Amino acid sequence: MTTSAAPPPSPTNGASKSDAAPSAGSSRRGAPARARRRADTRFVLVCLLPALALFAVFMIVPTMNVFRMSLYTWSGFSPDMRFVGLDNFRHLLDDKQFVRAFQNTVALLVVVTVVTMGMGLFLAAIMTRQRLRGRNLYRFVLYIPNVLSVVVIAAIFSAVYDQENGLLNGTLRLLSLDGLQQVWLGNQKVVLYSVAIAMVWQSLGYYMVLYMSSMASIPEELYEASALDGASPARQFFALTLPLIWENLRTTLTFFIMSAVNLSFVLVRAMTGGGPDGSSEVLLSYMYKQAYTNSSYGYGMAIGVVIFAFSFLVSLLVSRATRREPLQF
């Protein structure tokens, strides 16, 4: 819940534009204008101060601490912290469980991002363009999972995945597809995808609503014109809709990657606890286990640094790879 409630960061950087405009040609009126401007700046700074103070205390300082602690061996309580340099990171390379958690995180990121984005776009396009009857109801139903608590989601999926009388295996039996039945949370090759399905289910509605709102703002004339030219709905989607909401898509993509890292942790913790035998462990759940259960706080923080660097890097790459000339309508 924590991640999806926040609005996506604004893609534009409008702050720098605004103060450039009035500075030109103010030489004659000189001193009073400058004094007013300085007073304005001071006023803005003072207004920003509370927010900046909070940001520093609750974001910057803890983040710096994570980086600092990753260089120590520390249990979390004792006064004696031992500086070990990069030893914690060296251990990470030999730690098979860590490597496995890393692979799982990457797999979840790729699968969940692609599926959620793809389905979100598809559903949004259908609902806005095809004027489906009862689309408000669909939107409502699809959005509901987003407001549920993770514990509730875990309980729902425990009922869906139940190997004996669960919804999924029951349906498969009904369709005489007994061979497809699985122990969804017990089979080590399947369990990660079972978690992925729950993640998609949870976040699909949110992104669908986001895309719907940006698609709704595309002028209708464009579609009418292209229809006159004989464009099929599929062609319209790829040639019109997609390019026109591209900036919105980029923003949500970056945002989604970061939230998926968090969501995978809470869902794994509630649904499987990383099991069976570590096969659904993700980076954050492994970090928790090391920092607390195994009393290796410094090592846990080293994993935290890796997560930070990883999500930062992926977001950066995605942002670079999807850069296009913005289209306007």
Partner 1 sequence: MRRSLVLTGAAVTVLGLLAGCSAGGSGSDSGKTILKVAALEGGYGRDMYTRVIKEYEASHPDIDVQLQISKSIEDEITPNMKAGRYPDVVVLGQGRKAALTETLIKDKALEDLTPVLKEKVPGEDTTVGDKLTEGIVGNLNTDPYRTDQTYLMPMYYAPTGLFHNKGLFEEKGWKVPGTWDEMFALGDTAKKQGIPLFTYPTAGYLDSYFFALLADVGGERFYTDVMTYKKDVWKSANARKALDITTKLLGYAAPATVGYANEQDFTKNQQLVLDNKALFMPNGTWIVGEMADAPRADGFQWGLTPLPAATTGGKRYITTSVESVWVPSAAQQKDAAKEFIAYLYSDKAAKIFAESNAIQPIESIASSLSAENAEFYKVYEDPKVAALVGGFASTAPVEGVDIKATLFDTANSIISGDTTEDKWQSALNEASEKLRQAGS
Can you give the binding site for partner 1, defined by CB under 8 A?
39, 43, 46-47, 49-50, 53-54, 57, 73, 75-78, 88, 91-92, 94-95, 97-98, 154-155, 158, 162-164, 183-188, 270-273, 275-279, 289-290, 292-296, 299
DSSP string covering 214-255: HHHTS-HHHHHHHHHTT--HHHHIIIIIHHHTHHHHHHHHHH
Residue (262 or 295) nearer to partner 1, CB: 295
Spatial separation of the C-alpha atoms in residues 49 and 89, rounded to whole Å:
37
C-beta of 324: minimal distance to partner 1 in Å?
41
Spatial separation of the C-alpha atoms in residues 228 and 247, rounded to whole Å:
27
Which tokens is 65 given? 């601490």
Residues sharing a CB contact under 8 Å with residue 218, sequence separation 6 or more, in sequence order:
240, 241, 244, 245, 329
C-beta of 103: minimal distance to partner 1 in Å?
15
> Rounded to an integer, what is the distance from CA 248 to the centroid of its chain?
14
Check the CA dihedral 95-100-103-109 and report its sign.
negative
C-beta of 319: minimal distance to partner 1 in Å?
33
Residue (191 or 208) nearer to partner 1, CB: 191
C-beta of 181: minimal distance to partner 1 in Å?
11
Residue (124 or 185) nearer to partner 1, CB: 185
Residue (43 or 140) nearer to partner 1, CB: 43
Count the Cβ atoms, other than its own, within 10 Å of residue 302. 29
C-beta of 289: minimal distance to partner 1 in Å?
7
Residue (128 or 182) nearer to partner 1, CB: 182
Amino acid letter at 297? Y
Spatial separation of the C-alpha atoms in residues 40 and 78, rounded to whole Å:
49
C-beta of 294: minimal distance to partner 1 in Å?
5
Residue (250 or 289) nearer to partner 1, CB: 289
C-beta of 115: minimal distance to partner 1 in Å?
23
Residue (273 or 326) nearer to partner 1, CB: 273
Residues sharing a CB contact under 8 Å with residue 319, sequence separation 6 or more, in sequence order:
250, 254
Spatial separation of the C-alpha atoms in residues 129 and 143, rounded to whole Å:
19
C-beta of 269: minimal distance to partner 1 in Å?
9
What is the chain's alpha carbon radius of gyration, rounded to the nearest angstrom?
25
Let me know: does 43 contact 282? Beta carbons within 8 Å: no
Let me know: does 285 contact 213? Beta carbons within 8 Å: no
